[in-house]
A and B are shown apart, each in its own frame.
Chain A
Amino acid sequence: MTPRVTINRLATGVPGLDSVLGGGLPEFSFNLIAGPPGCGKTTLAHQMMFALASPERPALYFTVLGEPPLKMLRYQQQFTFFDSDAVNTSVRFIDLTDDAVGGDLEKVLTRIVEEVRAVGPGLVFVDSFRSVVMASLDEGVSINTLQHFVQQLGVLMTSWQATTFLIGEYFNENDANPVFTVADGLIWLRQSVERNSMVRKLEIMKMRGQPTLPGLHTFRITEAGVCVFARVDPSSAPAARTGDRLTDRLSLGVPGLDEMLGGGLPSGYSLLVAGPSGSGKSLLAATFLAEGARRGETGVIAAFEQNPNQSRDRTLADLIDSGTVGLVGSRAPDLSIDEILLTLVAEVRRLKATRVVVDSLSGFELALAPTFRGDFRESLSRLVTALAAEGVTLLMTSELEDRYTDLRFSPYGTAFMTDAVIVQRYIEVESRLRRVMAVVKVRGSAHSDSLREFTITESGIQLGVALPDQEGLLGGRPTRKQLMAEESSNGH
């Protein structure tokens, strides 16, 4: 009995792409890279070629009427993956413009076969396929001939044991195109523009023989080439650590606050700190990281303030400088949740961090490309789940306008996603703005229910006493309790 064939999977060399593909690219597959002009098809193809090609597995890159090869070489060279030394050894460029000009598909096919025979490549790229199609349709070649051509090419390349890529310009995936049927793999690149933001997305519409990560995955093109941010699927994330969650607790670093939480924040929990502007959320977040550092733990902060250098706490800045706390900033425009999440997770793993801060959710939402803002709640839920799977303890801050008529904890319904909530508010007492905070929730744990006043001094957050003689604090304008007022006036 013949054992089942094992399909080797090739590592594409494109960060994130292998996991989207479901473990790499099947060897000897016949693939189509499609998308509108400028979406990164040629770049993706070059990046994979330079990563995969070797003297033992040489690559042939056929250019057909699309981008002039001279220009392609000029621009692709700007990417760090372009290796001039590989040209004419493991990578060969072959121009078929003259053969394609007449629209004679047979001639193009013959040329490809000739070259493939001569070189015996493990990888074949045909760029761009649309130009072959257009040239031939102009000449009155019917779709049938075209389908025949593609099928022939597919069969030939597979029998030559060459993993093949057709690079094509297609504007519409609903084009009734014979290539789609023949291809084993269909990698679709898109770019969506909303207002001033541009977001690139990639989708594996088809990949025979293996399960791929469904949906649109954002990617970015930098000088290192394409980097795919595989969509993080919360359902596939491993279950959060549940072991000693409640007994293993982390100190927040504010004297008295740990007691309010019932003995510290349980390890692996997510904590939301909600409060109005200037109430001390960022300071609490910084204290949380500093306390971790004091105990020999590392942390990561995702900071989305407008002016990170101006507003940042000195202690925190020192921790970032010393490398104890990793900083994930929002320099790049048009972020996607997956990009932030993958960057965060990578930083957590690099530093073996146990404490993570997202400061703040409002800034985070603004940093996202507009197209993602609609799904912000869902995105946040993925963020919380993925970080929980890493086993880190998460603190997020959330701007919360003080509304004294209703009691709310976050604008996004985040309170429900997180394990613990601390709320900070301003109250007016004797014509002064004073701050109070309370622990609203610690899932599965007893916690204090008192509203405690706190002040911010040079040495940080100082928790004061509860204000038992005041009532109606959450209304913003507390009044002295009648009984207390009488007692105190009797006392004097």
Chain B
Amino acid sequence: MSHPESRRIAAALEQRAGSQANADQLADAVVMLWREINDTLTPIIGARGLAALHGRSLYLTSREYAWLNDAHGKSMLTEIDFDELRRNFTTQPMLESRAAAGVLLHTFHDLLASLVGAVLTERLLHAIWNNPFDGHAAQDVSE
């Protein structure tokens, strides 16, 4: 993952989980990030709209990480199932989970950008990748 977007995402995850996180802490961080995305995007595109994008991202990511349970593909959800999401990320070794979480977020980012454009995506998600309220120092993601 050498893409600058991937580094930002990894940094955002690490910011929330801490660098020494265990599997539970990582799963919490993943859920926390998705809740932030949920809070940011649901008002704009609706809970169903977001659940659909999240489900599609899970599906795409599960091709690389087959253990990711694509629960959303099975039924039309009206919102993201955070409990299921958390369960998913507690079942795997840390490195594997961390990588999958990054790919999932990156997939989601690209999917949204393909629909509404990179500029608007950046506009909407900027605050999440660069969370100023977090205790940890923001990571410098520029080259």
Within 8 A of B (CB), among A69-96: 69-70, 73-74, 77, 84-85, 87-88, 92-95
Q: Do the beta carbons of A77 and B46 come within 8 Å of each other?
A: no
With an 8 Å Cβ cutoff, the count of chain B residues facing the other chain is 17
Contacts of A93 in B (CB 8 A): 43-45
| 27 sample A-B contacts, Cβ–Cβ < 8 Å, listed by A number | A68-B45, A69-B44, A69-B45, A69-B49, A70-B116, A73-B45, A73-B116, A73-B120, A74-B115, A77-B116, A77-B117, A84-B119, A84-B120, A87-B120, A87-B123, A88-B123, A88-B124, A92-B43, A93-B45, A94-B43, A95-B42, A95-B43, A95-B46, A97-B46, A97-B49, A98-B47, A98-B48
With an 8 Å Cβ cutoff, the count of chain A residues facing the other chain is 17
Assembly CA distance A132 to B124 (angstroms): 27
Q: Do the beta carbons of B123 and A95 come within 8 Å of each other?
A: no
**Which residue on chain B has the smallest CB distance to residue A95?**
B46
Assembly CA distance A77 to B44 (angstroms): 15
Known: A70-B115, A74-B115. A95 touches B45 (CB 8 A): yes
> Which A residues are within 8 Å of any B CB, using their own CB?
63, 68-70, 73-74, 77, 84-85, 87-88, 92-95, 97-98
Q: Do the beta carbons of B116 and A95 come within 8 Å of each other?
A: no
Q: Do the beta carbons of B123 and A69 come within 8 Å of each other?
A: no
Contacts of A92 in B (CB 8 A): 43-44
Q: Do the beta carbons of A70 and B45 come within 8 Å of each other?
A: yes
Q: Scoring B residues 69 to 107 as 1 if CB is less than 8 Å from chain A, else 0, what string do you get?
A: 000000000100000000000000000000000000000
Q: Do the beta carbons of A74 and B116 come within 8 Å of each other?
A: yes
Q: Do the beta carbons of A68 and B120 come within 8 Å of each other?
A: no
* Residue among A63, A85, A97 making CB contact with B48, cutoff 8 Å: A97
Known: A73-B116, A74-B116, A93-B44. A84 touches B123 (CB 8 A): yes
Q: Do the beta carbons of A95 and B120 come within 8 Å of each other?
A: no
Contacts of A70 in B (CB 8 A): 45, 49, 53, 115-116
Supplied contacts A77-B117, A95-B49, A98-B46, 5 more A-B pairs, CB within 8 Å: A69-B44, A73-B116, A73-B120, A87-B120, A98-B47
Assembly CA distance A255 to B53 (angstroms): 75
- A85 CB to nearest B CB, Å: 7
Contacts of B44 in A (CB 8 A): 69, 73, 92-95
Q: Scoring B residues 53 to 81 as 1 if CB is less than 8 Å from chain A, else 0, what string do you get?
A: 10000000000000000000000001000
Contacts of B78 in A (CB 8 A): 98
Contacts of B42 in A (CB 8 A): 95
**Which residue on chain B has the smallest CB distance to residue A89?**
B123
Assembly CA distance A87 to B125 (angstroms): 12
Q: Do the beta carbons of A77 and B45 come within 8 Å of each other?
A: no
Assembly CA distance A93 to B117 (angstroms): 16
**Which residue on chain A has the smallest CB distance to residue B43?**
A94
Q: Scoring B residues 18 to 38 as 1 if CB is less than 8 Å from chain A, else 0, what string do you get?
A: 000000000000000000000
Contacts of B115 in A (CB 8 A): 70, 73-74
- A60 CB to nearest B CB, Å: 10
